Structure formats: C-alpha cells, structure tokens
Copies of this chain bind each other. A is one copy, B any other.
Amino acid sequence: MINISIIGASGYTGLELVKILLNHPEFKINYMANSEGGVKLSELHPSMNSVFEIDINKLNIDNVVKYSDLAFLALPHKTSMAIAKELLARGVKVVDLSADYRLKLETYEKYYTSHMDKDNLKQSVYGLPEFFREDIKNSNLVANPGCYPTASLLALLPFTKYLDESLPIFIDAKSGLSGAGKKCNDLTQFVSVNENIITYNPMNHRHEPEIKEKLSILKEKNFSINFIPQLIPVTRGELVNCYGTIKDEFININPIEILRDIYKDEKFIRIKENAVDIKSTSGTNFCDIFAKVNDKAIFINASIDNLLRGASSQAVVNANIMYGFEENLGIPIISYVP
C-alpha cells in the first residue's frame, strides 16, 4: 500500500478525497492535517461517523514525510507552495489541488501572488490526464486543474483546429455552491442563492487565464476567452457551455464524430447525443460532452462534478498515473442519480 497524506482536511475537497481513498485498493490514508489540528475527522465531517476515523493533526512536515509517500494538498491558493516545496525537497510526491503550480510564472504572479517555488513550478505538470498523461506518469508534482478549466478544456480542445482564433470564445459556466467553498459569505448564504442565479466576476475570473494558457500551450493558439461564471442553487455539479465561431472552411464538421474520435479510448469521457445535464455526472469522475453546430456557430457543453472531476477524483486519477496503476483504480463512476 502506498501511504497517503491529505493536507487540508476541513474543506469539501478534503472530504471527497477521503471518500474516494477509503475504497482505493492501493492507497492508504495514513496522515491528515489542517492548520489547527487537535480534532478527529468525524468532528470536522460528521458524515464520517462510523465510517472512518483518523486524527487531524496540526500540519508538521516531518510527519508528512515520515508517514506518507504522496501528499494531496487541498489548501487555499498561495498557501500550498510553501508546503509543497518542502515536501518535494524531501522526496514526497505531491498532487496539489490549488492553483499554485498550474500556471506559467508570469500568469501566476499576475493573478495570484509572488511565487515561492519557481524551481518546482518549472517542472510541475498540469494534471489533465487526457492531454498530459505521459508527463503525469513521470512527474513528482502534479498541479490539479481548476474545476472550470477542466470542463472548458475538455470541451474546447477537440475543436481548436476549427475555431477562428481571431474571434472571441464565450464560456457560460454554472456551478453548484460547493464550488464556492465552505466559508460563509453573501454568495454562499441560502437566502441569497435559493431561487436565484448569481453571476460573479464576469470576464474577470482567474480561471480565464488558466484556460487561455493551456489552449495556447497545447494547441499553440491564442484565443480570446470570455468566461462568465454563475452560481446556481444546487449543491454540486458544473456545466460549461462554450460558444465559438468556426472558420469558413470547416463549416461542415460533425462535432459528435470529432469528439468520439479524439476521445475514443478515454474511460472518463462520455460523448452524448443530446445536451448534457449535471446530475448524471454527480458522484463520478466522468465528463459528459455534447456539441452542435449551426453554420459557423458552434456550441459545446460539458458537465462534471465540480468536487470530483473538478478536484478530488481527478487528483486521485493523477496519483494512479504517477504510480503506474490503472487510471480508473478506485475512481467513482456511479452517479448519485436520483
């Protein structure tokens, strides 16, 4: 068994990591920590009562090193890198769920803060398996993608060849409230969100540069990404609708065929013949994708579970690849429907 630590036990992604790893035949949760410690898992997450118990320690790097081979970091952006730096120096593999190792240095420093670990940043791998599988295999440090970028990239990458690079792409994205984190604020209050749709940071969200950068790295194209995130009154689930203009010479493409071809061997992509919904992927690592064209207009929609494929289950898939296991080992595929 590979010993695993989960750093950042308090949030939803930490809980989802536990839920997955409990059923993983090769990974063993051996150490958990948050900033305060001194509490048991079932106190932080009462649903774990009679299911699994473990101490939540106050983070101690020596103990992480002692007790684990790989650490999942489920920490706020900007706080991960200090910890990852030490762990990597001492031989612990890292899968980081924050943004700290996702972006090129300039992009990161423009949207987040000064980077504290430029060396490791240089060799970190972006953890989107369908497109970075080989790099992930050989890596000790995987930067788990943001939830919106995961769905947006899986939707757009098959079509970059056909899209007019000089024209804007629009991403109309909707997420459930678990994507807004556990802290109480106006956005997360029931009365604010219930029976409502709340748009936040339109065309001004940090996932926009992340999507843009990966499209550029993978396809050497520079798209204008216009990202509009909205919160809808559900707990989990994420839907991205991508809109773009097709170049004149490609007006007759069959988008479903293109998707089927690009993703033909991918276990975690389901190509749908109708528009996707979010319930069907909830509880799973699947990304459901559908696309339709009308003359020059293309509409691609993709659905994922924001906490799973958008964070925790994708992180475990990355760990599976890092250790040479079957990619789907221990990965949830049975949705919560109904």
Q: Footprint of B on A, CB under 8 Å?
A: 12, 15, 19, 22-23, 45-47, 49-51, 167-168, 170, 172, 174, 176-178, 182, 184-186, 188-191, 193-200, 202-203, 224, 226, 228, 232-237, 239, 241, 243, 245, 267, 270, 275-280, 282-283, 286, 292, 294-297, 299, 301, 307, 333-338
Contact = CB atoms under 8 A, between A and B. Distances in A.
A196 B234 contact: yes
A50 B184 contact: no
B226 A243 contact: yes
A contacts with B: majority SS: loop
A316 to B, nearest CB: 14
Contact of A235 (B45, B47, B195, B301): B195
A-B pairs with the 4 shortest C-beta distances?
A184-B184, A168-B297, A199-B275, A47-B337
16 contacts: A47-B335, A49-B270, A168-B297, A170-B170, A172-B172, A176-B195, A182-B191, A184-B188, A190-B193, A195-B195, A195-B236, A195-B282, A197-B234, A202-B299, A243-B243, A336-B336
Contact of A167 (B23, B45, B245, B286): B245
A243 B189 CA distance: 29
B279 A167 contact: no
A66 B278 CA distance: 39
Contacts of A282: 195
Nearest to A169: B297
A338 B235 contact: yes
B190 A189 contact: yes
B232 A197 contact: yes
Contacts of A234: 194-197, 233
Nearest to A208: B294
A333 B52 CA distance: 10
A202 B275 contact: yes
B337 A299 contact: no
Contacts of A333: 50-51
